[in-house]
Amino acid sequence: MYKKISQRIKDIRIELGLSQSQFGEKLFVSQDTVSLWELGKSLPSTEYVIRLATEFELSADYILCLEN
Rounded to 5 degrees, φ, ψ at 64 are -90, 10
Residues 6+ apart with CB under 8 A from 43: 2, 5, 6, 37
Would the pLDDT of 66 be above 70?
A: yes
Spans of all domains in the chain? 2-63
Span 2-63 CATH architecture: Orthogonal Bundle (1.10)
- Give the pLDDT of residue 3: 67
Q: What is the pTM of this model?
A: 0.89
Please, which pLDDT band fits residue 23 given cuts at 50, 70 and 90? very high
Q: What is the mean pLDDT of residues 18-43?
A: 96
Number of neighbouring beta carbons within 10 Å of residue 36:
16
Do the beta carbons of residue 2 and residue 43 sit within 8 Å? Answer: yes
